[in-house]
């Protein structure tokens, strides 16, 4: 009876609240909506912050690796230069035993005239023939902490091949001469690794070092943006030949993006260990579509395509017609002068290039895509709205791969931006074209 009563109690309450509904105040949704908006903006902020950090981390990593790579390469170059210089400074005099030998020294003295070398191992206290000239020897010795260290000493009278042998021998000796008790110590890895002779390290670079002068041919293609300051040019027709469009406003409007291709030849010369100067000659063709409602009439009363750039230079009568599509192709001969920095100078190469180019305007050809109006072509000169010479800034990179001893192929992404307007100021317009392209080059290396 008691349980039944309790069950009834719960059932009563449950039935009261089952499906019960109470209206919340209107402020609940308003506050809820504010929370949702705030959360969305926070989420966006987090995304933005994430991408900012990602970008920063990428830049940091790139700089770090470039720096580390540069440092390693510089060290290689220094060691290489020391060895090469000392070898070249050799005289016909006999080599001598180094003055300084501590506890364990192994060295080699070479006689350049006879090309013979003799290996000598000197112990502490031993001294050989002393010469006034200093020697280059790779000396492996113990320092105070029982570590074996390798030193380069200046030398005269030593053959490069002997030096290589001496380094190999001293390298091997240094390994042999590690005292047995050292191996038992905890610092084992630190003790038993003598410095790698520079000659070994330079072997891998030897091929690329010979690339001092090279010629390349290539082509590239990409996007062309005319960069018109005044995208649309309009003027009122002065012609009386077309009654229908008389007093209409004429215009010619280029598309946002066109296409560009170039082909050329370049010569490059290494001026420092990693710096390269390059120049050459390129033919560049930049084309873009126009929508125009101008036509010009020649003396023979034939209609020719026309765009606003020529408005102030037109001798023939110009009139307005129905809008039609034009392809405008600008041809330029460009003489670039670039400096390059070799970030990676091995079988796989990576070079950064920057410089300027003098662009010599050749001609601008306007073609009516429908074929109704005659093609119009204008070279440089007083009647041309284009400057005869303009300047462009160049920025790019070149990723290359050495195919054989004298050949490399490379992919060259880059951009060129006209530093001054390619149009004359009298044209009433300004145009600083931007070209972003990717090129392919084939390089021949002169030895």
Partner 1 sequence: MLSEQELIKGCSKEDRASQKALYERYCRKMMAICLRYARSTQEAEDILQEGFIKIFNSIKSFRAESKLETWITRIMINTSLNSLRQKLYVLPMVDVNDIQIPEADGVNLSDFNLSELISIVQSLPDGCRIVFNLFAIEGYGHKEIAEMLSISEGTSKSQYNRAKHLLRSKLMQEEGRYERFK
Q: Min. distance of Cβ 47 from partner 1 in angstroms?
A: 14
Nearer to partner 1, 31 or 375 (CB): 31
Element (H, E) at 152: strand 148-152
Under rule CB under 8 A, residue 132 binds partner 1: no
Q: DSSP 3-state assignment of 7?
A: helix
292 closest CA partner among 307, 312, 314:
307
Interacting span for partner 1 (CB under 8 A) from 6-14, 190-198, 349-357, 364-372: 6-14
Q: Min. distance of Cβ 30 from partner 1 in angstroms?
A: 10
Under rule CB under 8 A, residue 240 binds partner 1: no
Nearer to partner 1, 32 or 59 (CB): 32
Residue 104 to residue 271: CA distance in whole angstroms? 43
398 closest CA partner among 357, 315, 342:
342
Query: Contact at 8 Å (CB) between 226 and 422?
Result: no
Nearer to partner 1, 22 or 180 (CB): 22
Cα–chain center distance at 211: 19
Q: Min. distance of Cβ 48 from partner 1 in angstroms?
A: 18
Q: DSSP 3-state assignment of 154?
A: coil
Residue 211 to residue 346: CA distance in whole angstroms? 10
321 closest CA partner among 310, 309, 306, 311:
306
What mask of x and - would describe binding to partner 1 in positions 32 to 71, judged by CB under 8 A? xx-xx--xx-------------------------------
Under rule CB under 8 A, residue 3 binds partner 1: no
Q: Min. distance of Cβ 53 from partner 1 in angstroms?
A: 24
Query: Contact at 8 Å (CB) between 80 and 74?
Result: no
Interacting span for partner 1 (CB under 8 A) from 7-15, 138-146, 221-229, 437-445: 7-15
Nearer to partner 1, 31 or 238 (CB): 31
Contacts of 159 (CB under 8 A, 6+ apart): 87, 90, 110, 112, 115, 117
Under rule CB under 8 A, residue 17 binds partner 1: yes
Nearer to partner 1, 12 or 301 (CB): 12
Residue 389 to residue 376: CA distance in whole angstroms? 21
Q: Min. distance of Cβ 51 from partner 1 in angstroms?
A: 20
Residue 221 to residue 260: CA distance in whole angstroms? 6
Nearer to partner 1, 42 or 315 (CB): 42
Nearer to partner 1, 25 or 447 (CB): 25
Q: Where do contacts with partner 1 occur on this chain (CB under 8 A)?
A: 1-2, 5-6, 9-10, 12-14, 16-17, 19-25, 27-29, 31-33, 35-36, 39-40
């Amino acid at each position: 009876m008691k349980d039944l009563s309790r069950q009834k109690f719960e059932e009563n309450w449950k039935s009261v609240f089952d499906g019960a509904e109470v209206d919340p105040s209107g402020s609940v949704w308003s506050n809820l909506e504010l929370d949702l908006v705030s959360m969305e903006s926070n989420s966006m902020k987090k995304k933005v912050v994430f991408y900012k950090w990602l970008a920063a981390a990428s830049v940091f990593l790139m700089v770090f690796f470039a720096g580390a790579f540069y440092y390693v390469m510089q060290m290689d170059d220094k060691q290489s230069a020391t060895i090469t210089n000392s070898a070249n400074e050799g005289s016909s005099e006999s080599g001598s035993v180094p003055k300084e030998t501590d506890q364990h020294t192994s060295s080699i003295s070479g006689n350049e005239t006879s090309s013979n070398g003799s290996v000598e191992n000197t112990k502490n206290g031993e001294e050989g023939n002393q010469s006034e000239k200093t020697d280059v020897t790779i000396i492996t010795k113990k320092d105070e902490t029982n570590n074996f260290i390798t030193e380069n000493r200046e030398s005269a009278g030593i053959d490069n091949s002997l030096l290589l042998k001496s380094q190999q021998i001293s390298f091997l000796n240094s390994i042999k001469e590690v005292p047995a008790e050292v191996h038992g110590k905890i610092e084992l890895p630190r003790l038993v690794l003598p410095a790698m002779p520079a000659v070994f390290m330079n072997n891998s670079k030897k091929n690329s070092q010979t690339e001092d002068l090279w010629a390349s041919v290539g082509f590239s293609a990409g996007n062309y943006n005319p960069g018109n300051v005044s995208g649309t040019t309009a003027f009122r027709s002065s012609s009386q030949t077309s009654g229908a469009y008389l007093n209409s406003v004429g215009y010619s409007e280029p598309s946002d993006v066109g296409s560009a291709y170039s082909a050329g030849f370049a010569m490059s010369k290494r001026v420092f260990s990693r710096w390269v100067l390059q120049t050459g000659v390129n033919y560049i063709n930049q084309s873009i579509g126009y929508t125009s409602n101008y036509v010009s009439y020649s003396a023979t009363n034939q209609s020719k395509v026309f765009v606003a750039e020529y408005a102030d230079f037109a001798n023939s009568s110009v009139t307005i017609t129905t809008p039609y599509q034009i392809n405008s192709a600008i041809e330029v001969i460009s003489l670039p002068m670039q400096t390059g920095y070799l970030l990676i100078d091995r079988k796989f190469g990576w070079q950064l290039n920057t410089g300027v180019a003098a662009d010599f305007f050749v001609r601008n050809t306007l073609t009516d895509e429908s074929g109704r109006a005659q093609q119009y072509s204008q070279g440089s000169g007083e009647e041309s709205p284009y400057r005869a010479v303009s300047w462009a800034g160049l920025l790019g990179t070149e990723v290359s791969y050495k195919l054989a001893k004298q050949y490399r192929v490379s992919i060259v992404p880059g951009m060129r931006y006209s530093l001054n307007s390619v149009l004359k100021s009298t044209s009433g317009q300004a145009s600083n074209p931007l070209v972003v392209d990717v090129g392919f080059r084939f390089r021949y290396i002169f030895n």
